[in-house]
């Protein structure tokens, strides 16, 4: 990974925890000590089970967070973009990362060390409060995802995944702004590549989605939402 210089003051990610608190005098020394670097597409920068090396904040780019399941298969547990936080699940508890993380495109990352993060939590109450709310929201999302996976059939899980990706990344020229393989969609939906291919083929025939190469576009979002409304 190549070291790069990023500026928190000129950062456009208003949802970033660091950006939200950059105006505080207590944050200045920590911002000066942060590391920033570019992670190339498909490159792994967090290894599941490795010792915690602080928290990562996405300055620009897209990342998938994965968890190893049965037979060593990786399941995608989170997709992230500009301003999102990574590596927080193991921070302060297990001392080891509970997920792995790969760049889905060339991605600029900011990293704050364990020592600096612990100091921030002790010395900047506004940051600590916001992080507590973030943890609560992430826990709520995790519980909802567990419930949905248990109750949804394969078609519904694939539709739910496509709607989530669309909401997270949006569409440009009629296709979702994220280049995911069918395997990656399967890993996120908790199913197999073959089942994803069948569901996508069926949704295309019903004119609910379209494909342009590997990319997918949602044609009739409202009808897709109706199919999974009872799970919301």
- In degrees and rounded to multiples of 5, residue 201 shows phi and psi of -60, -45
User: How many helices (H) and strands (E) are present in the chain, helices listed first?
Assistant: 8, 13
- Whether the CB-CB separation of 1 and 61 falls below 8 Å is answered with no
178: its two tokens: 């994220």
Helix-, strand-, coil-residue percentages of the chain, each rounded to 5: 45, 25, 35
User: Cα Rg for the chain, rounded, in angstroms?
Assistant: 19
**Residues 19, 181: Cα–Cα separation, whole Å:** 32
pLDDT the model gives residue 94: 67
**Residues 102, 179: Cα–Cα separation, whole Å:** 13
Of the CA atoms within 13 Å of residue 46, those in its CB half-sphere come to 31
Q: At which residue do the structure tokens 């993380």 appear?
A: 101
Domains in the chain (CATH in brackets) are 8-140 (2.60.120.10), 152-231 (1.10.10.10)
Beta bridge partners, 19, equal: none
pLDDT the model gives residue 232: 67
Of the CA atoms within 13 Å of residue 86, those in its CB half-sphere come to 33
**Length in residues, the chain:** 232
pLDDT the model gives residue 92: 62
pLDDT the model gives residue 214: 85
pLDDT the model gives residue 3: 75
pLDDT the model gives residue 81: 94
DSSP code per residue over 26-39: GGHHHHHH-EEEEE
DSSP code per residue over 50-80: SBP--EEEEEES-EEEEEE-GGG-EEEEEEE
Per-residue pLDDT of the chain (232 residues; tens, 9 = 90+): 777 778 888 889 998 989 999 999 999 999 999 999 999 999 999 999 999 888 999 999 999 999 988 778 888 989 999 999 998 876 666 688 889 999 999 999 999 998 999 999 999 999 999 989 988 888 888 888 777 778 899 999 999 999 999 999 999 999 998 888 999 999 999 899 999 999 999 999 999 999 998 899 999 999 999 999 887 6
Cβ atoms within 10 A of the Cβ of 216, count? 25
**Residues 208, 173: Cα–Cα separation, whole Å:** 16
pLDDT the model gives residue 93: 63
Q: Please name the residues in contact with 137: beta carbons below 8 A apart, sequence gap of 6 or more.
A: none
What stretches of the chain show up as alpha helix (H) in DSSP?
Answer: 17-20, 28-33, 114-123, 125-151, 154-169, 182-189, 193-205, 221-227
Q: What is the pTM of this model?
A: 0.87
């Amino acid at each position: 990974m190549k070291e790069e210089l990023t500026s928190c003051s000129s950062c456009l990610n208003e949802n970033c925890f660091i950006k939200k608190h950059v105006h505080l005098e207590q944050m200045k020394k920590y911002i000066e000590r942060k590391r920033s670097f570019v992670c190339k597409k498909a490159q792994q920068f967090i290894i599941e089970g490795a010792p915690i090396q602080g928290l990562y904040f996405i300055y620009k780019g897209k990342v998938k967070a994965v968890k190893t399941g049965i037979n060593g298969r990786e399941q995608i547990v989170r997709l992230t973009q500009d301003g999102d936080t990574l590596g927080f699940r193991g921070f302060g508890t297990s001392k080891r990362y509970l997920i792995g993380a790969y760049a889905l495109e060339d991605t600029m990352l900011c990293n704050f060390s364990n020592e600096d993060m612990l100091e921030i939590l002790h010395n900047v109450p506004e940051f600590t409060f916001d992080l507590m709310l973030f943890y609560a929201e992430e826990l709520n999302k995790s519980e909802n995802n567990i419930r949905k996976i248990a109750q949804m059939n394969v078609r519904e899980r694939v539709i739910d995944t496509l709607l989530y990706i669309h909401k997270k990344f949006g569409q440009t020229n009629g296709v979702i702004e994220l280049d995911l393989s069918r395997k990656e969609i399967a890993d996120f939906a908790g199913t197999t590549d073959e089942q994803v291919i069948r569901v996508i083929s069926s949704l295309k025939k019903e004119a609910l989605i379209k494909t342009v190469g590997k990319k997918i576009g949602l044609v009739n979002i409202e009808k897709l939402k109706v199919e999974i409304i009872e799970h919301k």
